[in-house]
Amino acid sequence: MTEQNDNGIKLSLDYQFTSEEIKILARYFRKNQACIPNGLEEFAAALERTVYNSMSIDEAEKFYS
């Protein structure tokens, strides 16, 4: 991901999340969904889809409870 900000500086991030990091972030965003900053909603949704797609419904329910 590369993007130019108002100062003409290019911002870039290339990071591979581990499965544990994805799970931690998904739980964090689920627990704090009322205060997710604007602009991170799609990221939070992508994390949740990733977790749901890797588990059965029962596993996902247990994971988030």
| 51 within a domain of the structure (yes/no) | yes
Neighbours of 13 (CB within 10 A): 7
Whole-angstrom distance, CA of residue 46 vs CA of residue 52? 10
Beta bridge partners of 3: 11
Would you say 47 and 32 are in contact if contact means Cβ atoms under 8 Å apart?
Answer: no
Dihedral (CA of 26, 32, 39, 37) sign: negative
Given a cut of 60, whether residue 1 has pLDDT beyond it is no
Is the residue at 2 inside a domain? no
Is 25 inside any structural domain?
Answer: yes
User: For residue 46, what are the domain limits?
Assistant: 17-64
Q: Is residue 10 included in any domain, yes or no?
A: no
Count how many domains the chain has: 1
Q: What is the pLDDT of residues 33-53, one digit of tens each?
A: 999 999 999 999 999 999 889
Model confidence, pTM: 0.73
